[in-house]
Chain A
Amino acid sequence: MDVEKKVAATPLLDELEKGDWPSFVTEIKKAAKTSKMAQGLLEQVEASYVEKTGHWKHGGIVGVKGYGGGVVGRYTDDPDRFPDAREFHTMRVNQVPGFFYTSEKLRALADIWDKYGSGLYNMHGSTGDIILLGTTTENLQPCFDALGEIDFDLGGSGGALRTLSCCCGEARCEKSCIDAMDMMYDLTMYYQNEMHRPAWPYKFKIKISGCPNDCAAASARSDMALIGTWRDAIQVNQEEVRKYVADGMNMVQVCRKCPTEALGWDEKNQTLSIKTEDCVRCMHCINVMPKALRIGKERGITVQIGGKAPVVKGAMIGWILVPFMKAEAPYTEIKDLVSRITEFWAEHGKNRERLGELVERLSLATFLEGVGLKPLPQMVSAPRANPYIFWKEEEVVKNG
């Protein structure tokens, strides 16, 4: 893109080029050397800093042919002042599972984005997508077509399945109980239609973490969190345990921090014991002694539902729906569950009602019946404390 005019002065933003931490202002300025849109962004953000208010209009609706989402329309609220930020749409590009890239792929992406957009990115957005920040309505379709040539598809937006995300799983983590990246890739490919053509009451997020450390923040941020777990014994290498002790690890303290007192240290025999029936897989001992302790061998996932940020009825951390299920390709059981849940929610959910809010409104029991699951004590921190129980007609003796 041609750059004709000089970049306006940005004294407030310039202050944020100082300091040790990488500067987003410097990044915008780099892009502004060759992009008028990036210049427009600088001018508008400087104005926001002066006036302490944003300058983007209420969401627009733009897109590419065949999709109902993946692009977020954005316009400046003052096109006379910020003509170069007049149209500044975001393209959500589905990231590679685990955020792994080759330089070749990233360069190809940069070449396309320099041609059709501002040359600015979020690596990555909160949901996980590569966010291409700032292009015009006219450039959306050609940019999407060019992205397709290097195998980058759009992610989700609106009332659709949002782009999935996961931790790096077995690719680089010894604690991963599942192949998180493969699961994300497989589910993503399977649910392309649900991602690209919004047909649901609101957003639906699926996130995958390889273990209960939950590095993908799945339980807090996704309607359906798939979290790697195991249900047999932690694998113990006593030799390595003793090495940790020899290196100064205070094993009594490690044991004291076990939340269920499942860990025991036999000082005399220099042996660590774990009561498997008491272990709640909190990862503590595995985290502190990675060389000595390993996740168990019978692996799968725990499914949590309902996690979300505060909008509308308050923040929730996902509730246990399935304590344990197998998670092996082609993940048929998981897909079946996803379909049952989304079908129930699409049928009963109100406009802008997330899954967790629906379950709270209708009751967990109603939801379980709807998706064909049995209640389990693992689902609750305690059973009900009030006596107002719903009984069905068939559960009581008919009289009269």
Chain B
Amino acid sequence: MSFVEIKGQQIELDEDGFIVEPDLWSTDIAEYFAKEEEVEELTEQHWKIINYLKDYFKQFGIAPMVRKVCKDNNVSMQELYALFPTGPAKGACKIAGLPKPTGCV
């Protein structure tokens, strides 16, 4: 566990850099995470995915399966990785402030 200061606010992160208190998420925090996850600038395309993930989580209490992310947003896997080079789970979900996905390893 560690803390980062984002716009004057202390934010607690777990070892993987995911936000510990998802309720504290803000667009500033998303901007901070984006830099960490190799996204140079959050574009409209990025925000579309981020908002989709947040809405999905709010509605269903889980992160959507990757296939569903692609289908619902009309993007291919290649495009998704181009947007989020560290991948949908590590990159996109972190930026969107979702709890760490717990898919199998």
Report which of A58, A60, A65, A159 forms a contact with B104, defined as CB distance below 8 A.
Answer: A159
Report which of A87, A198, A346, A351 forms a contact with B89, defined as CB distance below 8 A.
Answer: A198
Residue contact B15 to A75, C-beta cutoff 8 Å: yes
Contacts of A98 in B (CB 8 A): none
Contacts of B15 in A (CB 8 A): 57, 60, 73, 75, 87
Residue contact A201 to B65, C-beta cutoff 8 Å: yes
Contacts of B100 in A (CB 8 A): 60-61
In the bound complex, what is the Cα–Cα distance between A59 and B87 (angstroms)?
Answer: 17
Residue contact B102 to A68, C-beta cutoff 8 Å: no
A72-B70 contact in complex given A61-B89, A62-B90, C-beta closer than 8 Å: no
Contacts of B101 in A (CB 8 A): 61
Contacts of B77 in A (CB 8 A): 193, 197, 199
Contacts of B70 in A (CB 8 A): 199
In the bound complex, what is the Cα–Cα distance between A66 and B89 (angstroms)?
Answer: 12
A49 on interface, CB distance cutoff 8 Å: no
| Chain B residues with a Cβ under 8 A of chain A | 15-16, 18, 38, 62, 65-67, 70, 77, 81, 85-90, 100-105
In the bound complex, what is the Cα–Cα distance between A13 and B65 (angstroms)?
Answer: 43
Q: A57-B15, A68-B66, A68-B87 are in contact. List 13 more A-B contacts (CB 8 A).
A: A58-B102, A60-B100, A63-B86, A65-B85, A66-B85, A68-B90, A73-B105, A87-B15, A158-B89, A159-B66, A197-B77, A199-B70, A351-B65
**Considering only CB atoms, which chain B residue lies closest to A194 in the complex?**
B77
A190 on interface, CB distance cutoff 8 Å: no
Interface of B, helix, strand, loop or mixed by DSSP: loop
Residue contact A159 to B38, C-beta cutoff 8 Å: no
17 inter-chain pairs at a CB distance below 8 angstroms, sorted by A residue, are A58-B102, A59-B102, A59-B105, A61-B89, A61-B101, A63-B87, A68-B88, A68-B89, A68-B90, A73-B16, A73-B105, A157-B105, A159-B65, A199-B67, A201-B65, A352-B103, A352-B104
Q: How far is the CB of B78 from chain A (nearest CB, A)?
A: 8
Residue contact A159 to B103, C-beta cutoff 8 Å: yes
Residue contact A158 to B86, C-beta cutoff 8 Å: no
Residues facing B in A64-120 (CB within 8 A) are 65-69, 72-73, 75, 87
Report which of B67, B85, B102, B105 forms a contact with A346, defined as CB distance below 8 A.
Answer: B67
Residue contact B104 to A158, C-beta cutoff 8 Å: yes
A158-B103 contact in complex given A60-B16, A62-B16, C-beta closer than 8 Å: yes
Residue contact A200 to B89, C-beta cutoff 8 Å: no
A202 on interface, CB distance cutoff 8 Å: yes
**Considering only CB atoms, which chain A residue lies closest to B69 in the complex?**
A199
Q: How far is the CB of B34 from chain A (nearest CB, A)?
A: 14
A207 on interface, CB distance cutoff 8 Å: no
A67-B87 contact in complex given A61-B100, A75-B15, C-beta closer than 8 Å: yes
Report which of A58, A60, A197, A201 forms a contact with B87, defined as CB distance below 8 A.
Answer: A197
Contacts of B81 in A (CB 8 A): 66, 68, 197
Q: How far is the CB of B55 from chain A (nearest CB, A)?
A: 18
Residues facing B in A322-351 (CB within 8 A) are 346, 351
In the bound complex, what is the Cα–Cα distance between A68 and B103 (angstroms)?
Answer: 11
Residue contact B16 to A203, C-beta cutoff 8 Å: no
Residue contact A199 to B66, C-beta cutoff 8 Å: yes
Residue contact A63 to B103, C-beta cutoff 8 Å: no
Q: How far is the CB of B27 from chain A (nearest CB, A)?
A: 22
Interface centre among B18, B66, B88 (most CB of A within 10 A): B66
Residue contact A158 to B105, C-beta cutoff 8 Å: yes
Residue contact B105 to A72, C-beta cutoff 8 Å: yes
Q: Which 9 pairs across A and B sit closest by C-beta, in order of nearness? A: A68-B87, A199-B66, A61-B90, A75-B15, A72-B105, A60-B16, A158-B103, A61-B16, A59-B105
In the bound complex, what is the Cα–Cα distance between A209 and B9 (angstroms)?
Answer: 57
**Considering only CB atoms, which chain A residue lies closest to B90 in the complex?**
A61
In the bound complex, what is the Cα–Cα distance between A75 and B105 (angstroms)?
Answer: 14
Contacts of A193 in B (CB 8 A): 77
Interface centre among A61, A69, A202 (most CB of B within 10 A): A61
Contacts of A200 in B (CB 8 A): 67
Residue contact A198 to B103, C-beta cutoff 8 Å: yes
Residue contact B90 to A202, C-beta cutoff 8 Å: no
**Considering only CB atoms, which chain B residue lies closest to A159 in the complex?**
B103
In the bound complex, what is the Cα–Cα distance between A157 and B87 (angstroms)?
Answer: 13
Q: How far is the CB of A202 from chain B (nearest CB, A)?
A: 6
